Amino acid sequence: NSTRAVLSGLRNINKTEIIVPQYDPEIYEEMTSNPDYGCCVRLSTLESVLEECIVSRVPVRGIYADLTFALPRTRGVIALISQLNLVSGAPVGVTISLRNPEGVGYTNQDACELGMELYEVLAVRRNVVKENYGSAVFVYGKHTRMATAMVVVK
């Protein structure tokens, strides 16, 4: 569970600073009953939460977008992330599903493109990534292949 990992790994993050968007009302109801992160869950889409943060200019100390879709739709989320008020040292991570357009198999090319897209948008266009950091991409999963790209804001 990603939220539990954030809460245990980053001791200086308070639950009130974490937003876990969930667009499905049934899953939302189930998630809100969790004693660890139920208070963090909001009935919303990730895109809506990002747009609210962009408008309010709230300082964002980190973001992890655990997406269940493939790379083409991810580009819109990365574009929104690039407009956030990211604070220095903020980790930025994006996970995607590695499926080809036909919905079967996976493509390693998407993993590379995810890393390049995240780095391009945040390091080249916005110049907010720590120097010599690049972007790390991790590929994993036995049945459904996933890729996570990470960068750190300077």
Distance CA 120, CA 116 (A): 6
Look up tokens 């990211």; give the residue.
86
Q: Please list the alpha-helical segments (H only) found in 37-83.
A: 46-56, 71-81
pLDDT tens, position by position, 8-18: 555 567 777 88
Q: Contact 34/64 with Cβ under 8 angstroms? A: no
Res 6: pLDDT:
54
pTM above 0.85, yes or no: no
pLDDT band for position 5 (50/70/90)?
low
CA distance 32 to 9: 21
Distance of CA 50 to the CA centre of its chain: 10
Confidence of residue 22 (pLDDT cuts 50, 70, 90): very high
Tens-place pLDDT, residues 64-117 = 888 877 778 888 999 999 999 998 888 888 888 876 555 555 567 788 888 888
Strand boundaries in 16-74, DSSP class E: 20-22, 41-43, 59-60, 63-66
Tens digits of residue pLDDT in 27-39: 999 999 988 889 9
Q: Which helix (H) or strand (E) holds 146?
A: strand 146-152
Residues in the chain: 154
pLDDT at 1 over 60: no
At 49 the pLDDT is 95
R_g of the chain computed on alpha carbons: 15
- 61 pLDDT exceeds 90? no
Mean pLDDT of all residues in the chain? Answer: 81
At 58, give phi and psi (nearest 5°). -60, 135
Single-letter code of the amino acid located at 85: N
